[in-house]
Structure 1
Amino acid sequence: MSHPYADLIGFEIVDQSPGESRLEVPVRRELLNPHNVVHGGVLYSLADTGMGAALYPMLDEGKACATINCAINYFRPVMSGSIACVSTVINKGRTIATLESEIWNEGKLAAMAHGQFSIFATG
């Protein structure tokens, strides 16, 4: 599936299976804030996109999903190297799914996010 926003930021889906995904992005200058730290919005977007990537393979044909809410906790600044986001479906109901993402930078947990997604018919 085409994902123009993920392409813009530079996310790569390196693993995707029903209920799990792994996205990666290298730290580069365009992702930094004025303090030379990766902007929190990049990490948030990585988590949100990773959650969707974990959920989509579990959806029936004709169904789609969208974020209802997503909360993130930041633990450490990310300034260099590579960022990996590992997302997991915690529970999938008929209309709501609960997910979590761990965001890693050079082997250290940089952030965690929890979210709920709506599941709905596309047609």
Structure 2
Amino acid sequence: MDNSEIREQHDAQQLAEACREAMYRDDYTAQAMGISIERVGPGYALGRMEVRKDMVNSHRICHGGMTFALADTLFAYACNAYNRATVASGCSIEYLAPAFLGDILTAEAVERSLSGRTGVYDITVSRQNGEVVALFRGKSYRIRGEVIGAATAPETMAD
């Protein structure tokens, strides 16, 4: 790997982190749900959420919509990490095991394909013991605009 490739990777990582900060500032849903966005990179995001009492249904397990919202949130951070405004064009989820009050759920979003305006991302949601509770697949579509403008992009990106 030469110096220009190293710089490109560093710049892409800085851009992904700047996009995370810009998005989270206005992401009232993630904030209200207590979702933390812990790591991002180009086409990648990892975050966590604690299952609270207001997230548990009458079966005393985490409501599926909460698990979906966690996965969907990490999907959004992964596909917007390139600073190109991107939305979901379709999503599906498979619930494999329940999550319970007090569980710490981790969602990891990984880009599988990106071509033109569309992408495919897989998100794995697991409990603190590593047990997978859900598998989510999101299809993305790039729309007009950017996550952050040139004025707020990292200095190295303005070069």
Equivalent residue runs for 1:40-51 within 5 Å? 40-51=64-75
Equivalent residue runs for 1:53-72 within 5 Å? 53-59=77-83, 63-72=84-93
1:108 counterpart letter in structure 2: E
RMSD: 1.3
Question: What SS does structure 2 have at the residue aligned with 1:38?
Answer: coil
Question: What SS does structure 2 have at the residue aligned with 1:8?
Answer: helix
Aligned to 1:111: 134
1:16 counterpart letter in structure 2: V
Q: Which runs of 4+ in 1 moved over 3 A?
A: none
Shift in Å at residue 28 of structure 1? 1.1
Return the alpha-carbon distance in structure 2 between the equivalents of residues 21 and 38 of structure 1: 22
Instruction: Compare the two structures and name the one with the higher strand fraction.
Output: 1
Residues 64-121 of structure 1 show CA distances to partners (whole Å, capped at 9, x for unaligned) of 1111110000000101420000001111112111101000012101110111011011
Which residue of 41, 53, 60 maps to 1:17? Answer: 41
Number of residue equivalences = 120
TM-score, length basis structure 2: 0.72
Return the alpha-carbon distance in structure 2 between the equivalents of residues 88 and 51 of structure 1: 8
Aligned to 1:92: 114
5+ long unaligned stretches in structure 1: none
Shift in Å at residue 122 of structure 1? 2.5
